Structures are given as C-alpha cells and as structure tokens.
C-alpha cells in the first residue's frame, strides 16, 4: 500500500478508537441530570461499570477471533454494536434500560480497542509501529480533555440524551451506505485499502491481538477464546 492509503487506513480506525475512548469520559458530566430524570441514584455506578465490564471481558475474545478469522469483520461488528448501544442508551426510559444498553456499547468498544492496535501492528513494520501506536494512544489523552467539557456543554444545551446521540452522525453515514449500496462506510474504506491484511507484514513476528500466547492447533482451547 502507498503512504496515502496507509494514512487513510489509520484515520479510519482511529475514528473508531476515538468513539470508544470518548464515550468513557463524556457521560460523567451528564450523570447528575440523567439520574434526576430517570430516578435511579442507587444504580449510579452501574452506568459506567456495565460499559467497562463488557468491554474488558470482550477484549481477549475479539482479539483471539480476529487473529483467527481476520481483523475487518470484527472491527465492523464492534462499530455496529457500539452505535446500536449509543442509540438505545439515548432513548432509555429507565435506569435498567440504560445499564443494559451501556453494556451493549461496551461489547462494541471491546472489539475496536484491541483490533485497532492489531491493525497498526499488521500494516507497519516494527521500526515504525512505535510512532503510529503512540499517535493512536494520544486519542485517549484527547478524549480525557475533550470528553468532560463536551459532555457538560451538550447536557446544558441539548440535554443528556445527546451525550449518547453525539456519535450517531457517523452512524447515520454508515447506515446510508448500508441501505443504498449494501456496504458500510468503514467497510468501503477497509475493503479498498486493507483488503485481507496478512497477520505478518515482515519477517518479525507480531503479537496476537488478545495478548495471549500458546499453541495454535485447532484442538487448543485458546482458539475458542
């Protein structure tokens, strides 16, 4: 792939990482009004816990599956689950609904975080990975600064539901592509530029996305993780 193509790939996967990282920080400043409207103070902690727990549990599972079957399908699946959870969270009428829908968001975020890092490892040689992975990690620093401020402003001006809907413009674009052409926006980008990226692009071995090591034989239980 040419350098411009590689940059487009990085930009597309970083957008998914940004959505997942931003959602960890943007909701906090909306919680007081959210709790007041849904009357669920006793379940306050579960709004964040459900998201973090679901995403943490799914990281090794998505990582192992992407090592076996490829990065693209599970990255797109994670994006779809995340956007679905965002839409449902914004429409929640009770705290129980919100907690369940936040868990759905977490299921999606759990795919994007490890797979994005694995894609960077796949497409760049070892000498360049540090630079691009450092840029990728800067997304978390950006989200920690922008998230609380944006969450407070959105809550004051548009209402707490828009804290969840803010990620939907990108989702609307992917929906248009899915309906009119049968291809999602990110699927179009990754199909053109990622193709079927081999798990190794150099002679140096790359680490599996799930961070696990072990036998690759089909009989190994690690293949099921």
Say which CATH number the domain at 153 has.
Answer: 1.20.1250.20
pTM of the prediction?
0.73
Tokens of 100: 């369940």
User: What is each CA distance from 23 to 20, 52, 141, 147, in whole angstroms?
Assistant: 5, 10, 13, 8
Mean pLDDT of 31-59: 90
Give the residue, 213 or 108, on which the prediction is more confident.
108
Task: Provide the residue range defining the domain that includes 125.
Answer: 3-224
Per the structure, how many domains does the chain have? 1
- Contact by Cβ (8 Å): 96, 88: no
The 10s digit of each residue's pLDDT in 94-114 is 999 999 999 999 999 898 888
* pLDDT over 80 at 171, yes or no: no
Cα 20 to Cα 107: distance, rounded to the nearest angstrom: 10
């Amino acid at each position: 792939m040419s350098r411009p193509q590689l940059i487009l790939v990085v930009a597309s996967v970083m957008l998914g990482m940004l959505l997942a990282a931003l959602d960890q920080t943007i909701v906090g400043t909306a919680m007081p009004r959210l709790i007041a409207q849904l009357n669920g103070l006793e379940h306050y902690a579960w709004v964040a816990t459900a998201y973090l727990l679901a995403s943490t549990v799914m990281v090794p599972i998505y990582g192992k599956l992407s090592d076996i079957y490829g990065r693209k399908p599970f990255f797109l699946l994670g994006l779809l689950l995340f956007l679905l959870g965002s839409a449902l969270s914004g429409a929640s009428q009770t705290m129980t609904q919100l907690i369940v829908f936040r868990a759905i968001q977490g299921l999606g975020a759990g795919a994007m975080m490890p797979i994005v890092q694995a894609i960077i490892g796949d497409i760049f040689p070892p000498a360049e990975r540090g630079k691009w992975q450092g840029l990728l990690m800067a997304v978390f620093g950006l989200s920690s600064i922008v998230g609380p401020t944006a969450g407070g402003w959105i809550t004051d001006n548009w209402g707490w539901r828009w804290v969840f809907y803010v990620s939907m413009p990108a989702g609307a674009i992917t929906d248009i592509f899915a309906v009119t052409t049968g291809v999602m926006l990110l699927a179009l980008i990754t199909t053109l530029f990622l193709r079927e990226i081999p798990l190794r692009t150099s002679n140096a071995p790359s680490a599996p996305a799930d961070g696990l090591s072990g036998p690759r034989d089909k009989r190994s239980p690690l293949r099921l993780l």
